[in-house]
């Protein structure tokens, strides 16, 4: 990759470098266990640059845990399969940071609640009277699967084969949404 040429491009590259380092640091240590110095060291910059770019550790955390919004027009089943693939694979740094800190940092709690409420509403859209409850249970199940696999490292979830995903995991996740969900890929 070419080095940024302009001052603005260099500043943007440094900010991105700090953000990525912060996501990794928060993902490993959570909000409380991370320090500006640790983030700066990981990014290869002076700690004053972290503050200069982001203001404070808490401000940087609020940015680092933002999850990308899904604006695709997938049908419900396809969307769930995509989410499941991500949650069964290596977690993105921002997801790891958010999940690790959601029970101890109010910013992470609010961000996770907002994210899950949005996912629940999207899954329930156009459904019957129980669609919202079924969607919330499905979203909660995927969150539980994420925690059990990546943070608690449950033995049974450590080595899930593609066949197990196809035959057990996907039908289990989508069954709660009702008969109108298409399980074919």
Alpha-carbon span 124 to 137, nearest angstrom: 11
Mean pLDDT of 74-86: 69
Selection from 83, 70, 63 nearest residue 20 by Cα: 63
8 Å CB contact between 120 and 135: yes
Boundaries of every domain in the chain: 7-64, 76-175
pLDDT computed for residue 4 by the predictor: 67
Selection from 125, 119, 42 nearest residue 86 by Cα: 119
Mean pLDDT of 131-138: 88
pLDDT by residue (tens digit) across 81-105? 777 777 888 888 888 888 889 989 8
pLDDT by residue (tens digit) across 28-70? 888 888 999 999 999 999 999 999 999 989 888 888 877 555 5
Percent of the chain with pLDDT over 70: 85
Q: Which is higher by pLDDT, 68 or 145?
A: 145
Phi/psi class of residue 4: alpha, beta or left (left: φ > 0; alpha: ψ in -120 to 50)?
A: beta
pLDDT computed for residue 74 by the predictor: 47
Q: Average pLDDT over the chain, rounded to whole?
A: 82
> For residue 111, what are its two tokens?
């961000």
pLDDT computed for residue 182 by the predictor: 44
pLDDT computed for residue 183 by the predictor: 39
8 Å CB contact between 51 and 59: no
Percent of the chain with pLDDT over 90: 20
pLDDT computed for residue 72 by the predictor: 45
pLDDT computed for residue 47 by the predictor: 93
Superfamily in which the 7-64 domain is placed by CATH: Homeodomain-like (1.10.10.60)
- The residues, any chain, with a CB within 8 Å of residue 123's CB and separated by 6 or more, are 76, 79, 80, 131, 135, 138, 139, 177
């Amino acid at each position: 990759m070419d080095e940024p040429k302009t001052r603005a491009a260099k500043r943007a590259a440094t900010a991105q470098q700090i953000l990525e380092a912060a996501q990794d640091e928060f993902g490993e240590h959570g909000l409380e266990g991370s320090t500006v110095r640790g983030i700066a060291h990981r990014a290869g910059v002076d700690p004053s640059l972290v503050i200069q770019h982001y203001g404070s550790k808490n401000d940087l955390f609020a940015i680092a845990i933002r999850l990308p919004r899904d604006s695709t027009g997938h049908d419900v089943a396809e969307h769930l399969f995509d989410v499941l693939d991500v949650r069964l694979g290596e977690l993105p740094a921002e997801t790891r940071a958010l999940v690790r800190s959601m029970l101890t940092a109010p910013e992470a709690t609010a961000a996770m609640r907002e994210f899950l409420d949005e996912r629940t509403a999207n899954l329930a859209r156009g459904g019957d009277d129980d669609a919202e409850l079924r969607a919330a249970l499905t979203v909660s199940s995927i969150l539980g699967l994420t925690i059990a696999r990546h943070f608690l490292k449950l033995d049974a979830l450590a080595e899930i084969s593609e066949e197990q995903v196809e035959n057990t995991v996907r039908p289990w996740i989508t069954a709660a949404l009702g008969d109108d969900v298409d399980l074919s890929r």
